[in-house]
Amino acid sequence: MARKRGSEKRYVGRAVAVLFGCLALAMAAGGFVRWQDDGKGGDERSPGTFTQARATGQAFGKGPLRRYSVQVEDGTGVSAEQAAREIQKILAHPRGWAAHGRGSFQLVADRPDFTVRIATPDTADRLCAPVGDTGGELNCEVGDGVVVNLRRWKLGSPTFDGPPAAYRHLIINHEVGHEIGIRGHLGCPGRGRPAPVMMQQIKGLDGCRSNAYPYDAAGRYVDGPPAD
């Protein structure tokens, strides 16, 4: 009987070793990088893989045509198709870049001029690393398009007076502003005035009012002093 119990122990030990070996191989072959919880937006997985939106649309606006696609990191709970439609509406807004001759835009499923990627904070930091440290909080514009931090997409910003859906206009308008050639940032033009969309509003408003649009309701560009 003692010999039989020893065989059983050896069998269980081998089974446990095989199980942990399989788990290690699965993680090395493309498992989740890690789980993190931002305390408000829920768990955010960082697999580093993306789903491409298959949605397409007509070109709109005035100026050089820029074809763009939308990708969303897997496991975020954000639909790539819905995000693409939302971004399309943002770019077509009457106070946006397209409506004022700063470029025309078209949502495509392949061969884009640039790509908008919604990514978890870990992945956003990795994609944005060539242009700076985004610290798990910021968005960026890189060589092949725009990287949107999932935390900002879901939660908005503590400096922005409005819900996350309104803040998404600021995210897209600011980063696409860089994409169409506006390289520098702007500062607050005066206390109580609307902040320029090319101001890094998440870092503070300096007395300005938060604003998500490049142009005001009268069609005037919301400008400010150079900040860089």
Query: 129 or 41: which carries more pLDDT confidence?
Result: 129
Residue 22 is assigned to a structural domain of this protein? no
Residue 62 is assigned to a structural domain of this protein? yes
Number of domains comprising the chain: 1
Look at the pTM and tell me if it is higher than 0.85.
no
Coil, strand or helix at 137:
coil
Residue 138 is assigned to a structural domain of this protein? yes
Q: Is the pLDDT of residue 211 over 90?
A: yes
Residue 115 is assigned to a structural domain of this protein? yes
Residue 169 belongs to domain spanning = 50-203
Q: Is the pLDDT of residue 31 over 60?
A: no
Mean pLDDT, the chain, rounded, equals 85
Query: 19 or 53: which carries more pLDDT confidence?
Result: 53
Residue 181 is assigned to a structural domain of this protein? yes
Residue 97 is assigned to a structural domain of this protein? yes
Tens-place pLDDT, residues 167-199: 999 999 999 999 999 999 999 999 999 999 999
Q: Is the pLDDT of residue 209 over 80?
A: yes
Residue 198 is assigned to a structural domain of this protein? yes
Sign (positive or negative) of CA dihedral 130, 135, 137, 138? negative
Quote the pLDDT of residue 46.
78
Residue 121 is assigned to a structural domain of this protein? yes
Query: How confident is residue 26, by pLDDT bands cut at 50, 70 and 90?
Result: very low
- CATH number of the domain to which 162 belongs: 3.40.390
Residue 70 contacts residue 171 (beta carbons within 8 Å): no
Q: Is the pLDDT of residue 21 over 90?
A: no
